[in-house]
Chains A and B, each alone.
Chain A
Amino acid sequence: KAGVTQTPRYLIKTRGQQVTLSCSPISGHRSVSWYQQTPGQGLQFLFEYFSETQRNKGNFPGRFSGRQFSNSRSEMNVSTLELGDSALYLCASSLAGFREQFFGPGTRLTVL
């Protein structure tokens, strides 16, 4: 079974731009969660989607948003990029009713 895939793997943007990251979960997994990893803050939860609905949200500004499609694929969007948004963005999927999450390789975003 294929794992979680994320595209693109690397991205360079400038301040003020916006970016969209994509995640394809493991087949059969309907829950998709997004995390931000930075050296200072570690791994922090952004939001979780299940059946196209945002079920949970972390403590991030409204510039961070996401959505999920009917095939469980998910996208996250960051608008008006700031230097501090430079991070590894990780997507994870899980089976309904299970707590174990399986992560993709991440998208490394650099904001210049």
Chain B
Amino acid sequence: DQQVKQNSPSLSVQEGRISILNCDYTNSMFDYFLWYKKYPAEGPTFLISISSIKDKNEDGRFTVFLNKSAKHLSLHIVPSQPGDSAVYFCAASNNAGGTSYGKLTFGQGTILTVHP
């Protein structure tokens, strides 16, 4: 039962253009969402997060959009740079009664390649 899905295994983008990474979830109890970037042989690096009470959050070149009715979120990277090439994971958190702290449910990841 995959509650967080990233349906695109890979995405290829030209340097300077926009990268859009998508994520869908099925559990309506998720109320906090995060994006991580991962390079080979390293742990995931936190990028940006969004609470379910918001529909957008920006941090520099990164913007996350949340559409609760569609149970969909997306990460926009503008402009894309070759150093952004990595695996991107979306993750979801459900703090039902404070019992689920610490548990992140991850998607399978999307490999982003940014070409110079």
Q: Which residue of A lies closest to B94 (CB)?
A: A99
Q: Known contacts being A4-B43, A99-B49, A99-B93, is A56 close to B106, with CB within 8 Å?
A: no
A45 adjacent to B43 (CB under 8 Å): no
Give Cα A43–Cα B44 distance, bound, in whole angstroms.
10
Q: Known contacts being A99-B34, A103-B44, A105-B43, is A48 close to B49, with CB within 8 Å?
A: no
- CB-CB < 8 A to A35: which residues of B? 104, 106
Q: Which of B58-116 contact A (CB under 8 A)?
A: 89, 91, 93, 95, 99-109
Q: Which residue of A lies closest to B93 (CB)?
A: A99
A56 adjacent to B46 (CB under 8 Å): no
Partner of B44, one of A44, A49, A58, A90: A90
- CB-CB < 8 A to B106: which residues of A? 35, 42-44
Q: Which of A57-102 contact B (CB under 8 A)?
A: 58, 90, 92, 94, 99-102
Could you tell me the dominant secondary structure of chain A's interface residues? strand
- CB-CB < 8 A to B103: which residues of A? 33, 45, 48, 56, 58
Range of interface residues on chain B? 20 to 34
A55 adjacent to B43 (CB under 8 Å): no
- CB-CB < 8 A to A103: which residues of B? 36, 43-46
- CB-CB < 8 A to A108: which residues of B? 41
- CB-CB < 8 A to B44: which residues of A? 43, 90, 103
B102 adjacent to A48 (CB under 8 Å): yes
Give Cα A6–Cα B41 distance, bound, in whole angstroms.
13
* Size of interface on A: residues with Cβ below 8 Å to B: 27
Partner of B101, one of A50, A58, A102: A50
Shortest beta-carbon distance, B54 to chain A, in Å? 13
Partner of B102, one of A6, A33, A43, A105: A33
Q: Which of B40-58 contact A (CB under 8 A)?
A: 41-46, 49
- CB-CB < 8 A to B46: which residues of A? 100-103
Shortest beta-carbon distance, B108 to chain A, in Å? 5
Shortest beta-carbon distance, B44 to chain A, in Å? 5
- CB-CB < 8 A to A48: which residues of B? 101-103
- CB-CB < 8 A to B100: which residues of A? 56
